[in-house]
């Protein structure tokens, strides 16, 4: 009789709930790919920009994470009916704190700070414009940081959708220092 009760309790324990994969464990790594809009978006005439980035994230204790990656930001600046392109190629290293997660470990909200360094080019290095004007803005190395709000929404054990909002501030270049970005991405957990 005792063996029968133990078998019944064990089978109820197996079928009563579902086992969920463990997420954000120390040492787990993921590859993130993101696309963002920068400095607004106006369908009738966009003077905002866009960015693409990829990063490697490594989780630490308490679900926090280190993020190392690169990003390409492109923005067109209006000039007499045309646009002058400005591009930034930056590398990033930062730490993100987990500030919120749900009980089932599906949604995570992070706040992070990153150091950025890279290169900025204006009009792809061509200082002479079509109308004979000369650009005073030069290509330069840029450095600074970014503050980020990042949300991960797990759709599978190893795949998460990303939503982010960030403010970049870069010095060293001749163009605008601050860029607000918002966008989405996908993350693949690799181990």
Over residues 104-119, the pLDDT tens digits come to: 889 999 999 999 999 9
pLDDT recorded at residue 115: 97
- Residue 49: pLDDT band by 50, 70, 90 thresholds? confident
Domains defined for the chain, CATH in brackets: 21-189 (2.40.160.20)
CA angle 128, 130, 133 (to 5 degrees): 50
- Residue 12: pLDDT band by 50, 70, 90 thresholds? very low
pTM: 0.80
The pLDDT of residue 160 is above 50: yes
């Amino acid at each position: 009789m005792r063996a029968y009760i133990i078998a019944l309790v064990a089978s109820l324990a197996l079928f009563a709930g579902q086992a969920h994969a463990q997420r954000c464990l120390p040492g787990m790594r993921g590859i993130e790919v993101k696309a963002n809009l920068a400095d607004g978006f106006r369908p009738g005439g966009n003077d905002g920009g866009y960015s693409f980035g990829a990063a490697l994230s490594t989780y630490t204790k308490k679900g926090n994470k280190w993020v190392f990656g690169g990003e390409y930001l492109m923005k067109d600046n209006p000039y007499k009916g045309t646009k002058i392109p400005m591009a930034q190629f930056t590398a990033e290293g930062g730490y993100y704190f987990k500030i919120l997660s749900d009980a089932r470990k599906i949604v995570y909200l992070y706040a992070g700070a990153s150091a950025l360094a890279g290169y900025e080019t204006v009009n792809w290095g061509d200082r002479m414009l079509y109308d004979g004007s000369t650009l005073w803005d030069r290509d330069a190395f840029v450095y600074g940081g970014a503050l980020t709000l990042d949300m991960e929404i797990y759709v599978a054990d190893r795949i998460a959708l990303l939503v982010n909002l960030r403010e970049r501030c870069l010095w060293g270049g001749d163009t605008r220092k601050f860029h607000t970005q918002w966008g989405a991405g996908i993350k693949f957990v690799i181990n």
